[in-house]
Amino acid sequence: MIKRLRFLLISLAFCLHFSSGAYAQSEAFLEAIRLYYSNDVKAAYNQFKKVVAEEPDNDAAYYYLSTMLRDTSACNEQLKKAVALDPDNYWYNYSLSQNYISEGQYEEAAGILEKLAAEHPKKTSLYSDLMSVYSAAGQYDKALDAIDKIENKVGPSDALATIRTDMLLSQGKTREAYDYMLEYYKQNRSPRAACFLAQYNAASFNNQEALKFYDEALEINPFDTEARYGKAHVHRALGQYDLYFENINPFLANPDILPSAKAEYMSDVLQQQQFVYTFAPQVDTMMMNLYASAPADSSICSLTSTYLYQRGRVDDALLLAKLNADNYPESYSLNFTYPLMQYYSGDYPAVTSSATVALQRFPDDCDLLQLRASSFWQMGEYDSAIGDYDACAAAAPKGSDITLHCYSALGDLYHLKGDQKAAFGYYDKALKIDPGYAPVLNNYAYYISERYPTPVNRTTKELKKALDMSRITIEKEPDNATYLDTYAWILHLMGLDLEAKAHFKHALIHGGKESGVILRHYSIVLKALGENDLAEIYSDQASRMGE
């Protein structure tokens, strides 16, 4: 009964709205209307097509067809048929004008709107549309004339004054816009007009005049955020930072201002590192006001969490990051940020826990799997790390950078477990994806060299293979101390100590002195060359570094 009543009301509304009363009563048409208001678009479209085939003079059916077409030109074709059948129908004509506007056919749109405005002189919205069309077409005189007509009917307003000044500004008539707004303001004092005048003066570096208008805006409305924001920045330009903070904090604390806009503003402030360093306590207050204004907003919560982390308040930062992830379980970025922040703070057990929760929400996500795998690795839980890297490699596209990284990590992990065969097998898989991947080539070469505790014949096949792989790494990164160490050490094992010494010296210049392993290797090569005193010096340095 309720559905039947709703259908009858829809039918009645349609008959009152459109002129084609005879066709509105046909069963086919009523069925099309029912389907349309039931949101069964495909069925409604097919039914309306049937209607126009049987009732080619049904203007309303053409109109409804137009509302279901995404292609603007096809939509216009149907609307033109409706208009041709009922030229005086306001809605047919108005809809057609809006389509013309969306296509940038401003002249056609203006023609229809001018006709409608003449027929419906009390509809001020038509003049607003005309004003927009004229402005888009660059016909500013006509647009201003449309504003005049609206003002004659409804009186002056901030909205119309702002549109007029914006239009003048778009023509480069800056002073004319200012003079107009000043005259308007004398008769219609409002915060919006005062802020416009203040902004003009601030842009012209007339800071005192700008402050005067901002103060007048705040006298009219003490809670006007635009005035408070503008005044804050004039004080900042003048170096009056105490007054800047006094005025910007109410802006940040206002819950009615779009959170994303405030978050973007505060993000820009935080990029100014010297400012943040100089006014650290005041910036803290700004951030807390921002957070208090919208604690459930994800962008504000994320920004505050990151800020607290950078300030060393890690526990508070992690608390907010967790809150954000829990409040928005559908957000991947928030659910990844929380364990990532834990990872950087060094709490690897916590990472494995929160990453597991995130993986329940985003199964088989490679970034989360790698993050958890790396945490297991840091904790010495190699089997768990291997499991995650295996899962990640299976989920990633074959031959991708992700797969390459996973195979590389798996090779390292199996080496740590003492399974060299498995380690080298994964390195071989990685090198099939990228034969020049330096991290794998270096580790592969070095782990081969570990099989030879003392120098051997230079023609050893395995060492030759290791040397060839290592050579590629130093060709790619000639100043990488780790790669130079591997290459030089293999040369030593092959009995080529003079060549090894040259590469070790190069490594020491580029950071090798910070590595106990490199210093120990160098001391061994020096001793092999008979430079015992120098070898002893580097041996002592290596010992002090735990090697």
Q: What is the chain's pLDDT, residue by residue, as a tens digit (547 residues)?
A: 333 333 333 443 344 344 444 444 588 898 888 998 888 889 989 989 999 999 999 999 999 999 898 888 889 899 999 999 999 999 999 999 998 888 889 888 888 888 888 888 777 787 778 778 877 888 878 877 777 777 777 788 887 788 888 888 888 889 999 998 999 999 999 999 999 999 999 999 999 999 999 999 999 999 899 999 999 999 999 999 999 999 999 999 999 999 999 999 999 999 999 999 999 999 999 999 999 999 999 999 999 999 999 999 999 999 999 999 999 999 999 999 999 999 999 999 999 999 999 999 999 999 999 999 999 999 999 999 999 999 999 999 999 999 999 999 999 999 999 999 999 999 999 999 999 999 999 999 999 999 998 898 777 899 999 999 999 999 999 999 999 999 999 999 999 999 999 999 999 999 999 999 999 999 999 999 999 999 999 999 999 998 8
Domain membership flag for residue 501: yes
What pLDDT is stored for residue 25 in this prediction?
A: 59
Residue 453 phi/psi, 5-degree rounding, is: -70, -20
Write down the pLDDT at residue 73: 86
Q: What CATH number is given to the structural domain containing 530?
A: 1.25.40.10
d(CA 18, CA 60): 7
Residue 75 belongs to some domain of the structure? no
Q: Are 79 and 94 in contact (CB under 8 A)?
A: no
514 inside domain? yes
CA dist., res. 547 & res. 540, Å (int): 9
Domain with 536, as residue range(s), is 451-547
pLDDT of residue 43: 93
Whether 393 maps to a domain, the answer reads no
Whether the CB-CB separation of 518 and 540 falls below 8 Å is answered with no
> In b/e form, how buried is each residue of 324-349, taking b as 16+ CB within 10 angstroms?
bbeebeebeebbbbbbbbbbeeebbe
Helix then strand count (H, E) for the chain reads 33, 0
Query: What would you report as the CA-atom Rg of the chain, rounded to the nearest whole angstrom?
Result: 37
Q: Which of 346, 329, 334, 342 is nearest to 299 (CA)?
A: 334
The confidence score (pLDDT) of residue 4 equals 36
Q: Is the dihedral of CA 114, 116, 122, 126 positive or negative?
A: negative
Nearest to 66 by CA among 88, 32, 99: 99
Q: Is residue 150 part of a domain?
A: no
174 is a domain residue = no
| pTM recorded for the entire structure | 0.68
pLDDT at res. 386:
98
Q: Domains in the chain: how many in total?
A: 1
- Within 10 angstroms of residue 382's Cβ, the number of other Cβ atoms is 16
Does residue 522 lie within any of the structural domains? yes
In the numeric block, the tokens 């940020």 are attached to 337
- 517: exposed, middle or buried (Cβ count in 10 Å: 0-12, 13-18, 19+): middle
Q: Is residue 24 part of a domain?
A: no
